[in-house]
């Protein structure tokens, strides 16, 4: 893993701390999970966009 520093608002930090305590995970784990979800969504969206653009190109 690579150490990365991020800035959170106080509200984000406080809510993240509550969630971490509730689910029994470290805040860093939750941040990594959130980043993975963002990457998955972006990848899916990109894939869908490409498929829409190429749809029907062999039609003629």
Query: What percent of the chain has a predicted confidence (pLDDT) above 90?
Result: 65
pLDDT at 57 over 90: no
pLDDT at 44 over 80: no
| DSSP single-letter state for residue 32 | H
For residue 3, the model assigns a pLDDT of 94
Decide if 4 is inside a domain: no
Whether the model clears a pTM of 0.95, i.e. scores above it, the answer is no
Task: Give residues with Cβ within 8 angstroms of 19, minimum separation 6.
Answer: 30
For residue 50, the model assigns a pLDDT of 72
Decide if 2 is inside a domain: no
Contact 33, 23 (CB under 8 A): no
Domains in the chain, number: 1
For residue 59, the model assigns a pLDDT of 66
Domain with 27, as residue range(s), is 10-54
């Amino acid at each position: 893993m690579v150490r990365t520093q991020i800035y959170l608002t106080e509200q984000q930090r406080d809510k993240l701390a509550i969630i971490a305590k509730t689910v029994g995970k470290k805040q860093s784990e939750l941040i990594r999970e959130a980043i993975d979800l963002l990457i998955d969504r972006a990848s899916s969206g990109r894939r869908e966009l490409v498929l829409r653009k190429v749809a029907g190109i062999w039609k003629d």
